[in-house]
Homo-oligomer: A and B are copies of this chain.
Amino acid sequence: MFLVRVAKDPEIRRKEILNAAIELFEEKGYDATAVSDIVKKVGVAQGTFYYHFKSKEDVLDAFLDDIIEEIRVKLTAICDMEIDSIGKVLYYFRVFNTAGIGRERMMVYLHEERNALLHLKLEKKIYPKVLPPFQKIIQQGISEGVFDTEYPYEAAVAIFGASNAISEGKHDHAITEVTEDRRLLTTTDVMERILGAEKGIFIKYYRDKMEEKR
């Protein structure tokens, strides 16, 4: 038994392998996906994998870079919009709620122990991409007079940390049952406080301008 050997443009092959890997990562998790599974799915030899990727972790990095680049592009677009800072903050968060596989599934997925490495790497890689533009939005808000903080960078860091913790709590350790509505309410409340914004300004803006666009 033998198969015809096909040589493809390396970029094409690389994509093939990467896509197969991503599908398997989403299906079985990173740990449980063997390199032999990936090459079987693509229909190439094990060596081909290592011709295109340095290691199994290297594919993971490529996967994460894809996700992060997708998000970065969207965020840059938001920063360049000609709207006020409140709107930008809300758009900014909408990107996270819809990015990648979709926040809900993504969140559960990231918290599975078989994806621990993926989780850690994503966190490490995404913050430097996301925080500087967010800081700019906050500074815009300060100029506009709607935000008031001495530490715009740390405010950005704190908001991401806090909102992440609030929405993660849903999956793990919530005492009170957390509805989607309460999550929105508490997250915007915390954001307003950290940014020194008028109480209720985000929720008001959200109800007026964001919801109608759904």
Contact = CB atoms under 8 A, between A and B. Distances in A.
A151 B189 contact: yes
A120 interface: yes
Interface residues of A, number: 46
A151 B171 CA distance: 13
Count copies of this chain in the complex. 2
A157 B153 contact: no
B120 A170 contact: no
Contacts of A172: 124, 127-128
23 contacts: A113-B120, A116-B120, A116-B121, A119-B120, A127-B173, A128-B172, A128-B173, A132-B173, A150-B189, A151-B189, A154-B190, A155-B190, A157-B165, A157-B169, A158-B162, A158-B186, A161-B162, A161-B163, A161-B166, A161-B168, A161-B170, A162-B165, A190-B194
